Chain A
Amino acid sequence: MNYLDHPPFDVLNSDERTKLEKHSQIVYLDEGQSVPSQWQGDFFVIIKGALKQFLADELIAGLSVSDWFNTTTKNGETYNFITSEQSLLYRINGNALNDIADQNPTLKKLLYADLASRRELQNVRHAHYESQQLLHQSIESLGHHIKPAHFVASTATLLEATIAMNEVHAKHVLVKGDKVGMFTQADVCHAVGDGADFDTSVLPYTNFNLSTIHVKQDLSEALLIMLERKIHRLPIVDDHGDIVGVLGQTELLNFLTNHSQLIVAKIEQASSLESLGMAVDMIGKYIRNSVQTGVKTHVISRTVQSLNAQVFAKAWSLIAPQSVVDNTCLFVMGSEGRGEQIMRTDQDNALIIKDGFYDANLAEYAQRFNDALAQFGYPYCDGHIMLNNELWRKPLSAFKDQVLSWYQHADESMIWLATLLDAHFVAGDKDLFDELMAYTMDAKNHAAANFINRFAKAILQFGDGSHFWQKFTGSANHDVDLKKAGIFPIVHGVRALALEYGITVTSTRARLDELEKQSVLDQKTTLNLKEALDFFLTKRLLVALATTDKSARKVNPNQLSALERDLLKESLAVAKDFKGFVTRHYRLDVFGV
Chain B
Amino acid sequence: MFDFIRRVFLSEHKKHHQKSLLIRPEFGYLFDGIPDEWVSLDLEMTGLNPKTDHILSVGAVSIKHKDGVLTMDTADALSIVCRPPVMPDTSTIVIHGLRPIDVQNGVSYNEMLERLLPFIAGRTVVGFCVDMDMRFLNALAAPYLGVKLPNKTLDVSVLDQKIRQKKQRDPNVFVEKKHLNQLLKSYKIPLLPAHDALNDAMMTAMLFCHLNKNHP
Residues of A within 8 A of B (CB): 1-2, 25-28, 30, 47-49, 85-88
Contacts and interface: CB of A to CB of B under 8 A. Distances in A.
A30 B94 CA distance: 12
Contacts of B139: none
27 contacts: A1-B194, A2-B191, A2-B193, A25-B94, A26-B94, A26-B95, A26-B97, A27-B94, A28-B90, A28-B93, A28-B94, A28-B99, A30-B90, A47-B97, A48-B97, A48-B99, A48-B102, A49-B99, A85-B101, A86-B99, A86-B100, A86-B101, A87-B99, A88-B93, A88-B94, A88-B97, A88-B99
A88 B97 CA distance: 7
B interface, size bucket: 10 to 19
Contacts of B93: 28, 88
A24 to B, nearest CB: 11
A87 B98 CA distance: 10
Nearest to B93: A28
Contacts, number: 27
Interface string B72-95: 000000000000000000100111
Contacts of B191: 2
Contacts of B102: 48
A182 to B, nearest CB: 52
A1 B192 CA distance: 9
A49 B97 CA distance: 11
A198 B13 CA distance: 110
Most chain B C-beta atoms within 10 Å of own C-beta, residue among A49, A85, A86: A86
Of A25, A28, A30, A87, the most chain B CB neighbours within 10 A belong to A28
Interface of B: 90, 93-95, 97, 99-102, 191, 193-194
Contacts of A48: 97, 99, 102
Given A26-B94, A26-B95, A88-B99, 13 more contacts: A2-B191, A26-B97, A27-B94, A28-B90, A28-B93, A28-B99, A48-B99, A49-B99, A85-B101, A86-B99, A88-B93, A88-B94, A88-B97
A158 B95 CA distance: 83
Contacts of A85: 101
Contacts of A88: 93-94, 97, 99
Contacts of B94: 25-28, 88
A543 to B, nearest CB: 31
Nearest to B100: A86
A433 to B, nearest CB: 63
A1 B181 CA distance: 11
Nearest to B94: A26
A28 B93 CA distance: 7
Contacts of A30: 90
Contacts of A26: 94-95, 97
B98 to A, nearest CB: 9
B108 to A, nearest CB: 22
Contacts of A28: 90, 93-94, 99
Nearest to B181: A1
A148 B95 CA distance: 68
A90 B4 CA distance: 56
Contacts of A2: 191, 193
A224 B191 CA distance: 38
A87 B100 CA distance: 10
Nearest to B195: A26
B202 to A, nearest CB: 15
A85 B99 CA distance: 10
A1 B95 CA distance: 12
A365 B90 CA distance: 74
A36 to B, nearest CB: 12
A444 to B, nearest CB: 58
A591 to B, nearest CB: 47
Nearest to B193: A2
Nearest to A27: B94
A492 to B, nearest CB: 42
A26 B101 CA distance: 17
A488 B46 CA distance: 52
Contacts of A49: 99
B215 to A, nearest CB: 29
The 4 closest A-B pairs by CB, nearest first: A86-B99, A28-B93, A26-B94, A28-B90
Contacts of B99: 28, 48-49, 86-88
B72 to A, nearest CB: 21
Contacts of B193: 2
A87 B102 CA distance: 11
A2 B95 CA distance: 15
A49 B102 CA distance: 10
A47 B93 CA distance: 12
A2 B193 CA distance: 7
Contacts of A1: 194
B52 to A, nearest CB: 20
A569 to B, nearest CB: 24
Contacts of B95: 26
Nearest to A91: B94
A25 B93 CA distance: 12
Contacts of B90: 28, 30
A479 B187 CA distance: 46
A109 B198 CA distance: 38
A48 B102 CA distance: 10
A9 to B, nearest CB: 15
A55 B100 CA distance: 29
Contacts of B194: 1
A27 B100 CA distance: 14
Nearest to A28: B93
